[in-house]
Structure 1
Amino acid sequence: MGGIASVPGRGRKADPRKSKNKNINVPTFSEVVDIEPPEYMSDLEFAPMIWRSIVPELLENELLRITDMHNVEVFCMAYDTYRKSQMELAKEGVTVLGASGSPIKNPALTALNEAARQMATFGSLLGLDPSSRQRLTGAGDKNQTNPFAGVLNM
């Protein structure tokens, strides 16, 4: 009588933090000091704007490495699409007339949702939201002392 436990590879996975074969050769990538938006973005309205907003912040916090630049690029392109889709929705509304003349969902809604998902994904990789920033910087580490510990004894 076979159960889940008899299937190979389904047991408890080893904790990688306790592995004897831990890779101690952590790669270090070149830090970016200053970088302008790619030339092709100059034809776009919002991508260079958001680039010039987030890149200095990432540089100031020493979070940006050369290997992160594709994430910045995708985030900025998604932001451009997001803003343009939002403008289209404001102009045309959430429904438009389809080929048959009946109302259909505006395709800009789909573009807006996809761009928002991309922004969330790539923004998280860059530390642009509080939880991923904490993950990247180590802020809120459990080893930090709590200044309020022991204040209230209940």
Structure 2
Amino acid sequence: MPGVAGRSGRRPKPVAKKQLAGNPGKRKLNTEEPDFGLVRSIDCPIWMGEFGREMWDTVCPLLCRERVLEATDVQNLEVYCNAYDQFRMAQADVQKHGVTVLGASGSPVKNPALTAIKEATGTMSTFGGMLGLDPASRQRLRGPTDPNNNDNPFAALLNG
């Protein structure tokens, strides 16, 4: 929020994510950050659709293994998996009926499932980023690579 002291600018990264990244800024870490408890394993909600359940069963163990998922993050995972479920169902509707359908007046109109796909992918992008499920978010978790790593074939050119 612009103009509000302490609330403008980039959101702070949780200490656990800074530690996963190796504390790239080498700043002192906040030792007073609240601990909401790591989630080691959690069952998929019973209301989740088939595709969302498949995504949950894929992503949840990975997040638990990396110790990224806390009790307060479970709803983010629920929203992400539910959006994935909606995305897959809407995609199936487009495959079945096409990008245009007959409207009330009998003329072709855009399939409403296309709007559902767009909204679901936006939700997946937002909540997936919060959970570190996209390449940019993972890079922010990991931090920069080790400059002493000699696996780079261009290192000799760069170092002279």
TM range (shorter): 0.7 to 0.9
State the alpha-carbon separation in 1 of the partners of residues 124 and 134 from structure 2: 11
Counterpart of 2:132 in structure 1 is: 127
Runs of 4+ in 1 over 2 A off after TM superposition: 22-25, 144-154
Partners of 2:149 and 2:112 in 1: CA distance? 52
Match of 1:48 among 50, 53, 70: 53
How far residue 146 of structure 1 moved from its aligned partner, in angstroms, is 3.4
- TM (norm. structure 2) is 0.74
State the match for 1:5 in structure 2. Answer: none
Deviation of 1:129 after TM superposition, in Å, equals 0.8
Match 2:40 to one of 33, 38, 44:
33
1:93 paired to 2:98 = yes
Cα drift, residue 131 of structure 1? 1.1
Q: Which residue of 2 aligns with 1:81?
A: 86
Q: For structure 1, list consecutive stretches of 5 or more residues without a partner in the other structure.
A: 1-8
TM-score, normalising length from structure 1?
A: 0.76
| Identity fraction in percent | 47
Larger RCO: 1 or 2 (CA < 8 Å, sep 6+): 2
Give unmatched runs, 5+ long, in structure 2. Answer: 13-28
Question: Which residue does the alignment assign to 2:110?
Answer: 105
Q: CA RMSD in A?
A: 2.5
Deviation at 1:138, TM superposition (A): 3.4
- The amino acid that maps onto 2:63 is L
Larger Rg, first or second structure (1 or 2): 1
The offset of 1:60, in angstroms, is 1.2
**CA positional deviation for 1:79:** 0.3
